[in-house]
């Protein structure tokens, strides 16, 4: 079972244009889609589509359409008391795959709301193969919320994966001595933000990415899955490091591709696959998601790990 926490969920509204976006101009819209989303929610969707049980903890009212949509999709959604309405995020996609995101902050939370979310996760973590803490934090939450929750989760047992950015990511890195997760999934820009590396170099140079990710593993992180967009992904563990090149993909929308990559890795782990095959499944899921509109999660039949090339870095078995 995969347990997910999305502290700052969103209604993801995707507007597809039939031409290039131009500031200050009137555009014709080809289509508009809306879906209950957020990083953890996306991972729970992917799990259900792959017949992996998943529980999604979100701050929302029990009768909120957001919750009802997830329940209708077969996701075991466990809502906790929210600070306000679920926010709305807007994504604008262009025919060439260029994506523009406008994310709203969400309602400001109080310590009570944060503790309700934490408790909802802590009481279920010991029965989960993985607990995933994913996405941004709502306004009012301390940057160290994830780092503190990782420490508390390790006390009750179970493995923890974290996918976040900006201040919460930096706070987690600062607390690795006592809050190192079992898996982190930064992208190149995020990895550069706290390792001192150049973001453009990491995005284009898998070896440099592996060296930067190694810093986290050396500080106690179990594994680092660094996604590099069109350049695939790098996996670093205590046993070695690998780079996976994605299959040819016509990019439609990159929104949610990273979430699908993370799920692919977790699925490979649950299946008992070795590290290179976990990485291949992660990249296959991310590539399949990038070829679909909006935040659509790929079905297992659309995922082709056999088309992903995996290369070990020197010294890796």
Give pLDDT < 50 ranges for the chain: 317
Look at residue 250 and tell me if it is in a domain.
yes
Question: What pLDDT shows up at residue 175?
Answer: 97
What's this model's pTM, rounded to 2 decimal places? 0.90
Question: What pLDDT shows up at residue 109?
Answer: 96
Question: What pLDDT shows up at residue 33?
Answer: 87
Look at residue 249 and tell me if it is in a domain.
yes
Question: What pLDDT shows up at residue 129?
Answer: 96
Radius of gyration of the chain (CA): 18
Which burial class, exposed, middle or buried, applies to 237 when counting CB atoms under 10 A from its CB (0-12, 13-18, 19+)?
buried
Catalytic annotation on 51? Answer: no
Question: What pLDDT shows up at residue 233?
Answer: 95
Question: What pLDDT shows up at residue 317?
Answer: 45
Question: What pLDDT shows up at residue 203?
Answer: 87
> 96, 259, 269, 306: which is the annotated catalytic residue?
259
Structural domain count of the chain: 1
Look at residue 174 and tell me if it is in a domain.
yes
Cα 51 to Cα 233: distance, rounded to the nearest angstrom: 25
Look at residue 15 and tell me if it is in a domain.
no
The DSSP line for 295-310 is TPPPPGGG--GGG-EE
Closest CA to 187 of 211, 153, 163: 163
Look at residue 32 and tell me if it is in a domain.
no
Q: What is the CATH number of the domain that holds 275?
A: 3.40.1190.20
Q: The domain containing residue 192 runs over which residues?
A: 2-6+38-73+107-313
How does pLDDT run across 5-45, given as a tens digit for each residue?
999 999 989 899 999 999 999 999 999 988 898 999 999 99
DSSP state of 315: T
Closest CA to 168 of 152, 144, 201: 144
How does pLDDT run across 184-235, given as a tens digit for each residue?
999 999 999 988 888 889 988 999 999 999 999 999 999 999 999 889 999 9
Look at residue 11 and tell me if it is in a domain.
no
């Amino acid at each position: 079972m995969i347990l997910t926490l999305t502290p700052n969920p969103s209604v993801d509204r995707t507007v597809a244009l039939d031409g290039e976006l131009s500031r200050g101009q009137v555009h014709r819209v080809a289509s508009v889609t809306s879906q209950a989303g957020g990083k953890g929610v996306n991972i729970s969707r992917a799990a259900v589509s792959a017949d992996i049980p998943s529980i999604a903890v979100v701050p929302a009212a029990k009768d909120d359409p957001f919750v009802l949509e997830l329940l209708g999709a077969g996701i075991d959604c466990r809502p906790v008391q929210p600070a306000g309405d679920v926010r709305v995020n807007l994504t604008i996609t262009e025919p060439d795959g260029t994506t523009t995101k406008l994310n709203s902050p969400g309602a400001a939370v109080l310590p009570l709301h944060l503790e309700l979310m934490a408790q909802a996760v802590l009481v279920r973590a010991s029965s989960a193969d993985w607990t995933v803490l994913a996405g941004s934090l709502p306004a009012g939450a301390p940057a160290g919320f994830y780092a503190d929750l990782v420490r508390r989760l390790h006390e009750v047992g179970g493995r923890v994966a974290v996918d976040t950015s900006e201040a919460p990511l930096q706070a987690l890195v600062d607390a690795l001595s006592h809050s190192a997760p079992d898996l982190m999934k930064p992208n190149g820009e995020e990895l550069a933000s706290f390792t001192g590396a150049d973001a453009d170099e990491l995005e284009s140079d898998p070896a440099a990415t592996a060296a930067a990710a190694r810093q986290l593993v050396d500080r106690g992180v179990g594994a680092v899955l660094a996604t590099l967009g069109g350049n695939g992904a790098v996996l670093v563990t205590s046993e070695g490091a690998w780079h996976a090149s994605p299959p040819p993909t016509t990019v439609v929308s990159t929104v949610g591709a990273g979430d699908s990559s993370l799920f692919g890795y977790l699925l490979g782990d649950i299946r008992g696959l070795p590290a290179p095959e976990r990485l291949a499944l992660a990249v296959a899921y991310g590539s399949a998601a990038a070829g679909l509109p909006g935040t659509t999660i790929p079905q297992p039949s659309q995922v082709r790990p056999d088309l992903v090339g995996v290369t070990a870095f020197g010294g890796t078995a």
